[in-house]
Structure 1
């Protein structure tokens, strides 16, 4: 008997089909598998340890320590005003593949808090270049920023002010939101074409509050611009603020501070953070950003153990 005839005439066709309402439909299963844990190349280099700047060396350490994935800090592979060549990028991709590591994140810097359109256009071009680098590496998500006003003397000064910076004279945050939103609207078609989800980080500038991040993400309202959530960048009321962004998060960067922090130390409750993320339905990658003074080759394995237990 032909399958179509059997379905039309057999006993299965005679059975009534139950109607599922919101009350009777089964609830979606909650995530049960552990989150995969990756490590940022920043954890090794930290802008200061030249012996741990080489990406293949960092990949070797990450694999030896037992990580599932690896996030590349773009500034670690690109000299000032230069674009890393494709041959180098493909070598990194091959190296990670042979080690069994996912290249799962690309962490970039850009800034749009300037009234100068030419400066913003240069940052748009830089961000598009980075998207294309992520695509060449096979990386599905990329950390992006709003940028800062540049009215602090340096990063140490910005940290001394708890990340809160005064706007340029004659301008306001309202101007800044317009510049950032306009810039990302120009960038997003390239992200969509390359299949790279941008994650706006709570990273100073307009990202110093969850409301600032959400205003940009919600206004643009695109599946290609979501949130990279950094556990170490809300210096007050971190759990309440992390909760506000959890549902939009595509990658969570987790800070640890073994040996004491370089700029500050936060006592973060990672089982509590893991529950916040699980309640929000987050099943993606957790990326370690070690930011302490201890030797990273001893502190990073301890950090991995802490995160494995919390996100299990």
Structure 2
């Protein structure tokens, strides 16, 4: 591992020489690749605690305490765990949670919303855009560097609309959101969610067409359900600004356990620096499941340090 001082010198040499630090297929939209991927830490996507959070068994504060005690560096609480969603929570409560995380030593690695940009009604799509913009402001005040969004369900493809037409709706909506988010200092991250976006090519097509430094990928490893997921994850990885690491993924449509060492190899080879949020799904108490999966991911990550 190169010493920090040496890394800084190399950065300055590269910058002075005028060589681009990031190389991509278009002038503006580039894979997010760093030369020395030395900083990868673990976050908890709080959807892992969806059942106890939505049933009232645990409060958001209690989940933060659990994650801090377990050893996570950060948390990623989705917006709908705040009271009143989709309306914004009172700033007093927002800052209470922000303070709680800070005092527990937890960063906020991101947050996210539910949205659908594939709706054929332009008025409804505009409302979805305004929803995202509203929560961009929340993310900025909360200290979340990214806001996760979806493309949408894509049900309209079955109603006679073609993919190119719907993709244009999605691209236009995300571009407007990214332009707004840039002014708030928040990145929009597009999640592949096995909905309108089924493949890495479809995901990256949208990323490249929007062509914004304030848009990147939220790489959900469990939502590529066609063909070889590892090949698709590797293709999308250089464009990721955050991830969702899951216990299972789909190989040729069949759900199997994730090969975590293979995922960590892809993470390292992509040059990714940042947080890897983990997310456990399905039945079982997350207070049991999350610690088990956390240890597995930590072990796999350590093997590639």
TM over 0.5: yes
Which of 211, 232, 256 is 1:241 aligned to? Answer: 232
Is the 2:140–2:185 Cα contact (8 Å) retained in structure 1? yes
Residues 214-255 of structure 1 show CA distances to partners (whole Å, capped at 9, x for unaligned) of 111001111100100011111241100101100000001111
Structure 2 distance, partners of 1:218, 1:269, is 29
Which of 16, 39, 46 is 2:44 aligned to? Answer: 39
Say if 1:114 and 1:29 are closer, same or farther in 2 by CA, change over 3 A.
closer
Which of 195, 202, 207 is 1:205 aligned to? Answer: 195
2:245 corresponds to = 254
Residues 39-69 of structure 1 show CA distances to partners (whole Å, capped at 9, x for unaligned) of 0111112487513452111101111111110
> What does 1:36-185 align with in structure 2 at a 5 Å threshold?
36-46=41-51, 50-52=55-57, 54-149=59-154, 151=155, 167-185=157-175
Structure 2 distance, partners of 1:80, 1:97, is 23
> What does 1:187-226 align with in structure 2 at a 5 Å threshold?
187-226=177-216
Structure 2 gaps of 5+ residues are 1-16, 20-33, 249-253
- Please give the TM-score of this superposition, normalised by the length of structure 2: 0.82
SS in 1 for 2:183: helix
Shift of residue 181 of structure 1?
A: 0.8
Is the 1:134–1:196 Cα contact (8 Å) retained in structure 2? yes
Structure 1 gaps of 5+ residues are 1-19, 23-27, 152-165, 258-263
1:229 corresponds to = 219
SS in 2 for 1:285: strand
Work out whether 1:301 is the aligned partner of 2:288. no
Say if 1:228 and 1:21 are closer, same or farther in 2 by CA, change over 3 A.
closer
SS in 2 for 1:292: coil
Is the 2:237–2:266 Cα contact (8 Å) retained in structure 1? yes
1:274 corresponds to = 264
Structure 2 distance, partners of 1:141, 1:292, is 26
Structure 2 distance, partners of 1:288, 1:247, is 19
Shift of residue 80 of structure 1?
A: 4.8
SS in 2 for 1:83: coil
Is the 2:189–2:215 Cα contact (8 Å) retained in structure 1? yes
Say if 1:68 and 1:62 are closer, same or farther in 2 by CA, change over 3 A.
same
Residues 149-171 of structure 1 show CA distances to partners (whole Å, capped at 9, x for unaligned) of 3x4xxxxxxxxxxxxxx614231
Q: When the two structures are aligned, how many residues end up with a matched partner?
A: 267
Say if 1:114 and 1:210 are closer, same or farther in 2 by CA, change over 3 A.
same
Say if 1:173 and 1:36 are closer, same or farther in 2 by CA, change over 3 A.
same
1:159 corresponds to = none
Residues 70-100 of structure 1 show CA distances to partners (whole Å, capped at 9, x for unaligned) of 0011112143542212111111100000000
Structure 1 distance, partners of 2:120, 2:98, is 38
Which of 33, 36, 54 is 1:30 aligned to? Answer: 36
